[in-house]
Chain A
Amino acid sequence: GAVVSQHPSWVICKSGTSVKIECRSLDFQATTMFWYRQFPKQSLMLMATSNEGSKATYEQGVEKDKFLINHASLTLSTLTVTSAHPEDSSFYICSALTGTYGYTFGSGTRLTVV
């Protein structure tokens, strides 16, 4: 139990376009979800905390207008990278608190901006 599905697993987009990444809790309700980014050979860096029905809380240094987070339901949170640039290329991972199993992570999304 406690599966988090993340989609797409990889995406390539052109500079200046926007990309949406979805994170779904499949068999539980996730009031709180977290978004991370990870550069090659580095650890996960927390970007923001997504709360159902309210605004996301962003970590210091993360541009909230660039990384739009929407958590409109108890099973879906989305991260939209707006006006993407090559430096936004990274591995994005979502996580949800399951209540029973602690934190479960999605499989990640590899974003490449060309």
Chain B
Amino acid sequence: LAKTTQPISMDSYEGQEVNITCSHNNIATNDYITWYQQFPSQGPRFIIQGYKTKVTNEVASLFIPADRKSSTLSLPRVSLSDTAVYYCLVGASKDSSYKLIFGSGTRLLVRP
């Protein structure tokens, strides 16, 4: 299972763009990169998933360079409600034998 490394915490202000980078040097060929968001006392919530290049949905973008050894979650124009912990995970997420192993995550604080 690929190990991931993220910054422990980040601070931002409302309206700014936030980029959280995750390193996964040992990512395997069939691994996807998935980001989850977790609020206190709640289960993690899926944000975005990608394999290569760029993926965008209604809440975020995910940038993955050609070597796939890192990825960057981009949150445009954050609001106070985006204060949460963000987890980057890698693995063959559609494989029933794959276990999601969480790293430390990045604690994002959005200030007014």
Q: Which of A14-60 contact B (CB under 8 A)?
A: 31-32, 34, 36, 43-46, 49
User: CB-CB < 8 A to A107: which residues of B?
Assistant: 42-43
A97 neighbours in B (Cβ, 8 Å): 93-94, 96
Interface residues on B, range: 20 to 34
Question: With a CB–CB cut-off of 8 A, which chain B residues contact A49?
Answer: 99
A107 to B94, CA, bound (A): 21
A108 to B43, CA, bound (A): 5
A102 CA to B89 CA, complexed, in Å: 12
- Which residues in B have their C-beta under 8 angstroms from that of A78? none
User: In the complex the two chains form, what is the Cα distance from A106 to B45 in whole Å?
Assistant: 9
Report yes or no: A43 in contact with B104, Cβ–Cβ below 8 A: yes
Could you mark each residue 75-99 of chain B with 1 if its beta carbon is under 8 Å from any beta carbon of chain A, else 0?
0000000000001000001101101
Q: Does A93 count as interface, using CB distance less than 8 angstroms?
A: yes
The answer to whether A106 and B93 touch (CB under 8 A), given A43-B87, A43-B103, A95-B100, is no
Secondary structure type dominating chain A contacts = strand
Kindly list chain B residues whose C-beta atoms are within 8 Å of the C-beta of A6: 43
A residues whose Cβ falls under 8 Å from a Cβ of B? 4, 6, 31-32, 34, 36, 43-46, 49, 91, 93-95, 97, 99, 101-108, 110
**Interface set of B (CB-CB < 8 Å, partner A):** 34, 36, 41-46, 49, 87, 93-94, 96-97, 99-105
9 new A-B contacts, CB < 8 A, other than A45-B102, A108-B42, are A43-B103, A43-B104, A44-B87, A46-B101, A93-B43, A95-B100, A102-B34, A102-B94, A103-B100
Question: Which 10 pairs from chain A and chain B are nearest by CB?
Answer: A105-B43, A44-B102, A102-B93, A43-B102, A32-B96, A93-B43, A108-B43, A105-B44, A106-B43, A107-B43
